A and B are shown apart, each in its own frame.
Chain A
């Protein structure tokens, strides 16, 4: 018996590949083909249609929401990650880490429902601000955890050495902490940026008719109006930008930066 090498075990792995190919890769291939379909043959008309003023405004609104979410989560998560990773004692670090991990496990939808109470209490009406608050609330752990991972890799003795040589707090931050935590920042921005760009749940619950994300636009195109061609082109754009962002991050930072985010 040659466990793991025999032909039978290769064959037994086939159903896995077949399932993935049929129900994950084939749909993408189909959408790519569909996005180039026009009334008479093949062409770029769906992509060109996306450049129409209405769609450009809608896409710009999605970007604005995603960028605002990313920026605010970064501002909230970064100092907390620096504190937990570099300044807190072992016990306190564990408490803060678990504190950020628990909401990570509670489903987005449930957290959005929870936040609705706060919006009622504060009197925030459905719309851009409410959606932004919902996204910040839901995605904060996704910004915190990768930054925390890179902060905890900053060698403490480098910080101590700089301090004993008379470097100011600002100097230590600028020359040591910030450069060494860049990979975590990049991963956090990529994760939160892409998730808020493509989100559907939060804007559908906390937004109004003027709150746009790629998610709400795709929902509209596929389920509310039959604009499948346009929707396919937009899906291809979304997948392409995800792949580009992922590729860029891996290339720039090395594979380690993404490790632990695969499973």
Chain B
């Protein structure tokens, strides 16, 4: 295509990219503004971040978010790991197929279905039901992260065995080192999915239970209620979360790269 078309397309591309980043940047900016919401700039302040520090409701929500995400990630990896180690068999194919729908199904459909069943089974809504809801999709993500590498690991184990290595030695020198990066990646993915989940939480939490996303949403829905729910207070909370997310993603990418480099090195 012509040079001219290329130039226009380039301008277009960067304009679209800019549109993606402007709201985030404006949010960062206004989290340091004295006013209550993005209007005119009234001067620099760290007021909204200081407000966060004495926000006990935020602490409670944070505790819920972290404990649910940790528990869900640990259980997901523990359940998915043995399943991902299956050799080629009919069971493996069943598991493989059953892990796809939780990833592609609209979360709202999953959420209302689970709600209905949990009510029918007489569950008390709160931490446990949220944990169940998150783990129902997280085990699928954990499985899909772990299973692509299981074939490779098995080949190395078989090679080691045919060379006379003992069982303990295979586990210590082959299985654990080769599985570790996958386990860490699956754990982190599950943790992020749980920590950021909104819809599944909304339908399984019951009254009174809050995670960080639920708290932000509750406040954003009623912006005039208190200074905690003003837009710029939310900007500060959301900006902090964006910063944490980006750091986590960076760590995750570095781990993956490390893993693929290792795989290249050994294979």
Interface residues of B in 109-156 (CB under 8 A from A): 109-110, 112-117, 120, 132-133, 135-137, 139-141, 143-145, 148, 150, 154
Nearest CB in chain B to that of A177: its residue: B1
A214 at the binding interface (Cβ < 8 Å):
yes
Chief secondary structure at chain A's binding surface: helix
Interface size on A, residues (CB 8 A): 87
Whole-angstrom distance between the alpha carbons of A15 and B78 in the complex? 9
Q: Determine how close the nearest CB of chain B comes to the CB of A203; give it in whole angstroms.
A: 11
Q: Tell me whether A9 and B238 are in contact (CB under 8 A).
A: no
For the A-B complex, the count of residue pairs with Cβ-Cβ distances under 8 Å equals: 252
In the complex, A107 Cα to B234 Cα: how many Å? 14
On whether the beta carbons of A27 and B85 are closer than 8 Å, the reply is no
Q: Is B184 an interface residue (CB 8 A)?
A: no
- Let me know if B79 and A19 touch, CB within 8 A: yes
Q: In chain A between 98 and 115, which residues have their CB closer than 8 angstroms to a CB of chain B?
A: 99-100, 102-103, 105-115
The listed residue (A20, A80, A84, A205) touching B220 by CB distance below 8 A is A205
Cross-chain contact A106 with B24 (CB below 8 angstroms): yes
Write the nearest CB–CB distance from A26 to chain B, whole angstroms: 6
Which residues of A lie under 8 Å from residue B12 when comparing CB positions? 79-80, 83
Instruction: State which of A42-50, A52-60, A228-236 sits at the interface with chain B.
Output: A228-236
Cβ-defined contact, A114 with B24, below 8 A: yes
Neighbouring A residues of B213 by C-beta, 8 Å: 107, 109
Pick 11 A–B contacts, CB within 8 A, sort by A: A16-B82, A16-B139, A19-B139, A24-B140, A31-B112, A82-B9, A83-B12, A106-B246, A107-B245, A110-B241, A242-B105
The 8 closest A-B pairs by CB, nearest first: A27-B113, A4-B87, A12-B82, A198-B106, A16-B83, A117-B38, A114-B23, A13-B83
